[in-house]
Amino acid sequence: MGVLQPENITVINQERRNLTMKPEDLWMIGIVAFCILFTATFGWGLWG
């Protein structure tokens, strides 16, 4: 493997940025996880 040139690193970083999740994606995942866990707390007996 050759040494990465700066311009290639820029391309890789650009691609990585494109793959990075946006804030709304993270919010959606977090919220759905919260909803599932919150519902589960009733089954776990946390509400008496």
Partner 1 sequence: MSGVTWVYIMLGLYIVYAFYWGIKGYVTEKTSSGYAIGGRSIPFIAFLMAATAASFSGWTFIGHPGLIWRDGLAYAFASFYVLTIPITGAFFAKRNWLLGKRYGFITPGDMYAYYFNSEAARWLTVLTAFLYSMFYTAVQLMASAALFHWVAGVPVIFGAIFMAFICWFYVCSGGMKASAWVGVLQFILLVGGIIILGYYVITSEAIGGWKAFSDHVNALDKRFLDVPRVINWGIGAAKGEVAWTAVMCLTYMFALMGIQSSPAFTMWNFGQKSPAPLAWQQTFMSTFVVGFALFYFTAFQGMGAKVLELQGVLKFTKDSDVVPILMKTYLPPFVLGIVFMGAIAAIHSTAAPYINTGGSILLRDVYWRYIRKQQASHSEQIWVNRILATVVTAAALIVGLNSTAALVILGALATAFGFVQYIYLMGVHWGFRFPAVGANLGMLAGMVAVFLTYYVWPNPLSMHSAFWGVFAAIVVAYLCRGVGVKDDAETIKRQNEIRAFLDSIDSPTPAGRTWRNAMKWVVPIWYFFAIGPACIWGNNAFSFAGFPPLWSWQIAWWILGIIMMWALCFKAEMSTCTQVMLERAEKDKMIVVKEA
**Residues 37/43, Cβ–Cβ less than 8 Å:** no
Nearest approach, Cβ of residue 12 and partner 1 (Å)? 21
Q: Calculate Rg over the CA atoms of the chain.
A: 20
Q: What span, in angstroms and rounded, lies between the C-alpha atoms of 37 and 43?
A: 10
Alpha helices in the chain (DSSP H): 6-19, 23-43
Subset of 1-48 contacting partner 1 (CB under 8 A): 22, 24-25, 27-28, 31-32, 35-36, 38-43, 45, 47-48
Least spacing, CB of residue 17 vs partner 1, in Å: 15
Positions in the binding site for partner 1 (CB under 8 A):
22, 24-25, 27-28, 31-32, 35-36, 38-43, 45, 47-48
